[in-house]
Structure 1
C-alpha cells in the first residue's frame, strides 16, 4: 500500500488541496484511496469535500476510536466522494491531546501500555485498511502534536507542498531536522516521497529556491489561486471543478490537473504500485472505474 501524509511547517501552501487532488488522481487511475484528515480547524479536507455536516454532533468519530471509546465499526465512519473514501473530521479533534493523555493515564493505572502516537496505526490496522485500500493519505495540521505524530506513525512517508518564497525556503531548511526529530521521537523511519512547489511564478528568486530542494520534485505547480478558490467555493476537487463548473476549459488549468495525475503516478511508482486504469494526464472526461 502507498501511504503518505501531506505536511508542511508553513501554513497556507496548499497542503489540503494537494491531499484532496492527489486522492482523486489515485482514484481516477483505478486505485482505492482512503483519506484520513486530522485538522481540527474548520477549513479542512472534510469541508472541501462537503462531508463535515456532523462535525459538531455527538456521533461516533475517529477520536472515539483512537481512545477506544468507539460506538460502532470503523467502516461506518467512512464517506465516499469522487471515488475517494474519507473519514470526516470531528470537533473532538480539537481536544485530541487531552483525550489521549487521559486514556494513557487510565491504561497505565491498569498496568497496560498505551502509545499516544500509535493509536491511528492501531485503528487502521484493526480495521484492515492495509488490505482493503491501495492508498492511504493523512492530512494533519501544520503544528506539531498528536495529530501530526499519529499521521506520520501511520504512514511513515511525507509529501511536502512547498511555497517557493523566503518562508518556503525556511520551511525547506528546517525540514531535514524536523524529519530527524520525528524519527527520534516516534522511533520510526520517515521518508520523503516528493516535494511539490506550489504557486510558482518563475521568478529568479523562486528558481534559486527550487534549486535548493534536495527532495524529488516531480512537478512544479504554478499560481492557481482562482482554481483552488473555486474548489473551496464548490466543495470539490480541481478535477470536478474544471469539468462541471468552468464554462470553458483553460489550458493552464488542464495542465495543472495533468500535473496532479503525474504526481500520483510518481508516488505509486515509488512504492511499486501499478495503477490499473491510468488516464491520459489531465483528461477530465476519463471515467473512474469503481473499485
Structure 2
C-alpha cells in the first residue's frame, strides 16, 4: 500500500499483536522500559527505542505486563500530582496522557502515515486513553448468537464514549468477522451491510485454518499465504512449516478483502493516497495481483 505504519499494542493478554508479530522480547521484564512508563512520565529510556520492526516491516510498540496494572499505577500518579498541585482528582486529565505522549511530545504523525492502536476492549483507563488519542474507531463485530452487538447498541456505545471523554468520536467502519455460512451468520452480516448508518466495506469470512496458522507463522495472513505456511501432523506431533500450504481461491479472496478494508480506511476516512493494487509474491506460484474494488484477479508468472 506504500504507507509507513506504526502499531501500538495496548492489550496485556496473551494472544495479542505482540505475540503475533513475534516482538516484545522483554514484555515480562519489570525492569525493562515500556510504553506505560512513558505514558506515566517515568521513562527508563528513549521513546524511539520502544519501537520494534517485525519481519514483515511493520513497526510495533509491543505490549508489556505493566499494562495490566495501568490503572493502579495511574491512581498513584494522580494522588501524588493532585496533592502537589492542590487540585482535585476530577481535574486531573487522566484520559489525555496517551494523546499528549503520541502527538504533542513524540509527534508520531510526522513520522508515520498511519498509527494504529489495538487496545484491550475492557472499559478501563487504557481504552479511554486510546479512544481519546485516536478519535477514530474501527469496530469489529462477530456473529456470536445471543447478545450480538446491534446497530442501535453500536450507536449508543459511540455516544457514551463521546459523553465520557467530551470529544467527537468518529466510526470509520464496522467489520463483521468470523462470518460462517449459517443463516444466522449471514443475516447478522447483512444487518450491517444493508444500513447507511455505518460503513461496512467488507465482511471477513470464517477462515479458521488461515487465522490459526498466522500464530504458528508469527505473522499476518499475507505471510501465511506468500510463504505457504501449513500446520499438520507429523510423527504424532503437530508441526508448522512454510512451503506446504495449497493456494486456495477463498483465502486469496480474504487477503484481498483485508487489503480492501485497509484501503477504505486510508482513502475514505483519512483521504490518503495509496497503491490500490495488492500483489502477493507466493512461493513457487509467482505473483498474483488484485485491484481494490475489482473482483478480477490478475495472475503474473514469476520471472
TM bin (shorter chain): 0.7 to 0.9
The farther-off stretch of 214-223 and 158-167 is 158-167
| Alignment partner of 1:266 is 2:240 | no
1:221 aligned residue: 204
Aligned partner of 2:297 in structure 1 is none
Within 1, Cα distance between the matches of 2:140 and 2:279? 20
Query: Which range moved further: 225-234 or 213-222?
Result: 213-222
**Does structure 1 retain, via aligned residues, the 8 Å contact 2:226–2:280?**
no
- After superposition, what is the alpha-carbon deviation per residue over 1:84-143, rounded to whole angstroms, capped at 9, x for unaligned? 111011100010001111111211112176411111111101111011111111111121
Which residue matches 1:151? Answer: 130
Change beyond 3 A, Cα 1:252–1:282: farther
Higher helix share: 1
2:11 paired residue number: 39
**CA drift at 1:164:** 2.4
Task: Kindly tell me the number of residue pairs found equivalent between the two proteins.
Answer: 258
Q: Distance in 2 between matches of 1:37 and 1:262?
A: 23
State the secondary structure of the residue aligned to 1:34: strand
Unaligned runs of 5+ residues in structure 2 are 230-243, 290-303
Taking CA–CA contacts closer than 8 Å with sequence separation of 6 or more, which of the two structures ends up with the larger relative contact order? 1
What TM-score does the superposition give when structure 1 sets the normalisation length?
0.83
1:215 alignment partner, SS class? coil
Which of these residues, 44, 51, 54, is aligned with residue 78 of structure 1?
51
SS at match of 1:199: strand
Contact 1:259 1:282 in 2 (8 A): no
Indicate conservation of the 8 Å contact 1:254/1:282, yes or no: no
Query: Aligned Cα RMSD in Å?
Result: 2.0
Within a 5 Å distance, the mapping from 1:60-209 to structure 2 comes to 60-81=33-54, 82-111=56-85, 114-125=92-103, 126-167=105-146, 169-170=148-149, 172-209=151-188
Q: CA deviation at 1:43?
A: 1.6
Larger radius of gyration between Structure 1 and Structure 2: 2
Q: Which has the higher strand share?
A: 2
Structure 2 length normalisation: TM-score?
Answer: 0.80
User: Runs of 5+ in structure 1 lacking a partner?
Assistant: 1-28
